[in-house]
Amino acid sequence: MENDNVRNESEITLLEQSAREHLIDFSILTNPKYRANWHHREIARELEAIADGSFAASGKRILILQVPPRHGKSEEATINFPAWLLGSAPHKQIITASYSSDLAVIFGSKTRDLVDSDKYRQIFPNVQLKPDDKAKARWNTNKGGSYASVGVGGAITGFGADVFIIDDPIKNREEADSQVMRDKHWDWFTSTVWTRLESDLETNNKGVLILILTRWHLDDLAGRILAEPSYASITRLISFPAIATHDEKFRIKGEALWANKYDIADLEQTKKLVGIYQFSSLYQQSPILTDNQEFKPEWYRYRTRQEVESKNTRKFLTVDTAFSKKNSADYCGFCENYVDQENFWNLAAYRMRLDPYEFINFLFTIQEKRNFEAIGIEETSFVEGIQPYLEEEQRKRGKFLPIVLLKHNQINKETRIRGLIPRYSSKSVYHIIGECTSLEEEFATFPQSVHDDTMDATQYQNKIAEAPLGADERIKQQTNRQKNVRDQSYS
């Protein structure tokens, strides 16, 4: 038993030593529930470089951390880091700020309580709060260190900062979209924040700013810093999109940032709920400047699938195939259009990665489910890619799809996609809720979109979608189309 006690005491001593040296270990030891993902460790390395002076020594004075909501950025960088830094360097002066003074006080209170805890004293036994100096927003250590928290735009008279942390300077979308508020934030940053940073050439001590945020706008505080050469040259940007946009050190394209907490299914659901514009900004750190968008968000109208199915509609499917003579799988775009009695389009538009055989099977499956009166496919890609395989499969199954071949008449794709603008601007299109995510994503960055498969499939509806007919004429027209398909297939 005595040997066990000695071993346990030795292990505790090693843990405490590691917590003194490393922020992640400090976070774990002071909070048994703390779970560190790889991105927390990457952030910790950057913060430790600030603590040991190597960050400023490299010529950098600003660290921007772009992290999605609820991914642990504030707990690590705004609450735990100041407490750990004051234990390692108890003479440091720290200022934190957030979009409201109330939130800033909450951060300050949590950091103060951490410094005042028994676990903290076990790790840093010589550092404690200065007696009778335990206010939530402004307090000092017994070693000459200080901590102050304020709301963005607030006065910081009399305080200097070795480290100035701004966490979430923007409150909401309304504030982000306000030119007046963005100007106020910038004025406060240049006139107040920057002037608070310490600089001592004799000791080579240079104050550092840490800006922690989710991106709301291209012209937000991070955007302006990165756009201003004098600030950008001394800035290090670390950005963590919720879904990887390219292969990274710790994950590949398409993987979630914190999969154990928010997997891809969770993130895709969030994208549907908040919309592509909010998701792109807050979760992907890629704000979209809506003023320059050709397809305006305010044009979108929405219906549920149940609402659409309750209406008397004509059904059309248009397809953008992603293969010609090759067999490799790539994105195919699809647009289901349900044209109602008022001639409104009701769309479900999406893209799927399919090879030609999977594509053909999908066409039969979706046709059996939806019973489209016409399926439009661009003629060249159809003839060069899948026509013989589809014809053979139709004969095998004894089922003939109502294929209509479409021509783009040498009109470039951007012009064809812009052909949708009159219908959207007149608000004659409804998106089926949750079934147009990829379409809205592509529209958001058109014409610089990474993908255009869903837009291209949708623009072909201009060639095929027709206004409602009487029931007899509708059946007659559909029967004629199916007969033509059979005749062509056997010819």
| Same domain, residue pair 349 and 429 | yes
Number of domains the chain contains: 2
pLDDT of 234: 95
pLDDT of 333: 95
Burial class (CB in 10 A: 0-12, 13-18, 19+), 312: exposed
Helix (H) or strand (E) holding 331: strand 330-339
| Same domain, residue pair 331 and 392 | yes
Cα dihedral sign, 417-420-424-428: negative
| Same domain, residue pair 63 and 163 | yes
Burial class (CB in 10 A: 0-12, 13-18, 19+), 443: buried
Please check whether residue 209 lies inside any domain of the structure.
Answer: yes
Q: How many CA atoms lie within 13 A of 86 on its CB side?
A: 30
Please check whether residue 245 lies inside any domain of the structure.
Answer: no
| Same domain, residue pair 301 and 432 | yes
| Same domain, residue pair 223 and 320 | no
| Same domain, residue pair 7 and 124 | yes
Residue 189 above 50 pLDDT? yes
pLDDT of 177: 83
pLDDT of 280: 85
Determine contact, residues 341/311, Cβ cutoff 8 Å: yes
The residue to which tokens 């080579």 are assigned: 204
pLDDT in tens, 141-167: 888 889 998 888 877 777 789 999 999
Cα(458)–Cα(456) distance, integer angstroms? 5
Work out the pLDDT band at 477, boundaries 50, 70, 90. low
pLDDT of 328: 42
Write b or e for each residue in 207-245: b if 16 or more Cβ atoms lie within 10 A of its Cβ, otherwise e. bbbbbbbbbbbbbbbbbbbeeeeebeebbbeeebbbbbe
316: DSSP letter: E
pLDDT in tens, 109-140: 899 999 999 999 999 999 988 877 667 778 88
Please check whether residue 359 lies inside any domain of the structure.
Answer: yes
Say how far residue 61 (Cα) sits from the centre of its chain: 26
Mean pLDDT of 282-290: 80
Q: What is the pTM of this model?
A: 0.65
Cα(339)–Cα(348) distance, integer angstroms? 12
Phi-psi region of 168 (alpha: psi -120 to 50; beta: other; left: phi over 0): left
Q: What is the mean pLDDT of the chain?
A: 87
Please check whether residue 253 lies inside any domain of the structure.
Answer: no
| Same domain, residue pair 307 and 220 | no
pLDDT in tens, 54-102: 999 999 999 999 999 999 999 999 999 999 999 999 899 999 999 888 8
* Nearest to 97, CA basis, from 110, 85, 86, 107: 107
Work out the pLDDT band at 8, boundaries 50, 70, 90. low
Q: Of 202, 225, 240, which marks where a domain is finished? A: 240
291 CB neighbour count, 10 Å cutoff = 8
Residues above pLDDT 70, as percent of the chain: 89
| Same domain, residue pair 15 and 94 | yes
Please check whether residue 316 lies inside any domain of the structure.
Answer: yes
Q: Of 240, 266, 285, which marks where a domain is finished? A: 240
Q: Looking at residue 399, which CATH number applies to its domain?
A: 3.30.420
| Same domain, residue pair 235 and 362 | no
Going along 58-183, which residue ranges are E strands? 62-66, 93-98, 129-134, 138-141, 146-151, 163-167
Residue 326 above 90 pLDDT? no
Burial class (CB in 10 A: 0-12, 13-18, 19+), 349: buried
Mean pLDDT of 316-333: 72
Please check whether residue 137 lies inside any domain of the structure.
Answer: yes
Work out the pLDDT band at 7, boundaries 50, 70, 90. very low
Residues above pLDDT 90, as percent of the chain: 56
Cα(16)–Cα(438) distance, integer angstroms? 49
Work out the pLDDT band at 483, boundaries 50, 70, 90. low
Q: Of 222, 240, 258, which marks where a domain is finished? A: 240
Structure tokens at 383: 């003839």
pLDDT in tens, 201-240: 555 678 999 999 988 888 899 999 998 999 999 999 999 9
| Same domain, residue pair 232 and 308 | no
| Same domain, residue pair 52 and 159 | yes
Query: Would you list the DSSP string of 340-377?
Result: -TT--EEEEEEEEEE-HHHHHHHHHHHHHHH--SEEEE
Please check whether residue 54 lies inside any domain of the structure.
Answer: yes
- Which are the contacts of 320, defined by CB distance < 8 A and separation ≥ 6? 332, 333, 334, 378, 453, 454, 456, 457, 460
Mean pLDDT of 20-47: 94
Q: Looking at residue 95, which CATH number applies to its domain?
A: 3.40.50.300
**Which CA distances in Å does 102 have to 105, 154, 193, 404?**
5, 12, 19, 62
Work out the pLDDT band at 2, boundaries 50, 70, 90. very low
| Same domain, residue pair 32 and 121 | yes
Cα(337)–Cα(347) distance, integer angstroms? 5
Structure tokens at 359: 């594509």
Mean pLDDT of 429-438: 93
Determine contact, residues 122/18, Cβ cutoff 8 Å: no
What is the residue range of 201's domain? 2-240
Q: Does 92 or 471 have the greater pLDDT score?
A: 92
pLDDT of 469: 60
Residue 266 above 70 pLDDT? yes
Nearest-10 crossing angle of helices 356-370, 387-397: 50
Least confident of 6-15, 46-55, 197-206, 302-311: 6-15
138: DSSP letter: E
Please check whether residue 139 lies inside any domain of the structure.
Answer: yes
